[in-house]
């Protein structure tokens, strides 16, 4: 099922449409800041998703929470929490109005959409605090910060279920960045 967003653009806190300014719809569709869901969110039952906002932290609905889509509605997603103290809890995620948290865009905008992204893959930083049964790590480019390799390798519940992709078949090693001053 595909879900399109409702986009509003602002300049100096006044809606651009109210000023008569128009930005082509295709231009706003092409904007894909990481803090917002994509313009066209394509979901199916059984897809893993990640929450992009804190909705109800005491109920486990925090930014970065991984969920599994159980049912899709026009106004709500029924999902099951995959990690943490609320694992297997069924929750409902509504469409909400979102604004980008970064300042990559030279104007203000908001999107009304489900606050989720697909989560078949995630960055090492986003994986902190998560546990998975099977893990694939793409290390074609080595880690670039202290502790990232440890975080990546320690997400899996079993060492036997970890696969690592390196840059070449000949080299069976990667770089582990360690700042000795941090270890003191």
How do residues 104-144 score in pLDDT, each as one tens digit?
A: 666 677 788 999 999 998 888 888 888 888 999 998 888 88
Domain termination residue (choose one: 118, 147, 163): 118
- The pLDDT, as a whole number, for residue 1 is 75
- The pLDDT, as a whole number, for residue 95 is 93
pLDDT digits (tens, 9 = 90+) for 22-69: 555 556 666 777 778 887 889 999 999 999 999 999 999 999 899 999
Compute the average pLDDT of residues 148-174.
87
Q: Are residues 111 and 145 in the same domain?
A: no
The answer to whether the beta carbons of residues 70 and 90 sit under 8 Å apart is yes
Torsion of CA 144, 147, 152, 153, to 10 degrees: 130
| Domain extent for 14 | 2-118
Q: Are residues 75 and 145 in the same domain?
A: no
Number of domains in the chain: 2
- The pLDDT, as a whole number, for residue 19 is 44
Q: Are residues 68 and 152 in the same domain?
A: no
Buried b (16+ CB within 10 A) or exposed e, 103-117: eeeeebbbbebbbbb
Q: Are residues 80 and 27 in the same domain?
A: yes
- The pLDDT, as a whole number, for residue 110 is 77
Q: Are residues 138 and 99 in the same domain?
A: no
Q: Are residues 103 and 20 in the same domain?
A: yes
- The pLDDT, as a whole number, for residue 131 is 83
Q: Are residues 101 and 46 in the same domain?
A: yes
The answer to whether the beta carbons of residues 79 and 90 sit under 8 Å apart is yes
Q: Are residues 16 and 88 in the same domain?
A: yes
Compute the average pLDDT of residues 147-152.
89
């Amino acid at each position: 099922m595909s879900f399109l967003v409702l986009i509003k653009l602002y300049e100096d806190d006044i809606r651009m449409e109210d000023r008569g300014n128009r930005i082509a719809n295709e231009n706003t569709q092409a904007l894909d800041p990481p803090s917002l869901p994509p313009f066209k969110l394509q979901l199916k039952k059984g897809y893993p998703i990640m929450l992009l906002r804190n909705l109800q932290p005491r109920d486990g609905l925090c930014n970065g929470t991984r969920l599994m889509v159980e049912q899709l509605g026009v106004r709500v997603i029924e999902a099951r929490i995959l990690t943490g103290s609320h694992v297997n809890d069924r929750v409902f995620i509504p469409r909400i109005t979102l604004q980008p948290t970064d300042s990559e865009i030279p104007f203000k905008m908001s999107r009304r959409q489900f606050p989720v992204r697909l989560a078949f893959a995630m960055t090492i930083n986003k994986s902190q605090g998560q546990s998975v049964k099977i893990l694939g790590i793409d290390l074609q480019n080595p880690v670039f910060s202290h502790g990232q390799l440890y975080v990546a390798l320690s997400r899996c519940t079993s060492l036997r279920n970890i696969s690592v992709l390196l840059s070449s078949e000949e080299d069976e090693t990667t770089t582990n960045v360690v700042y000795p001053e941090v270890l003191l």
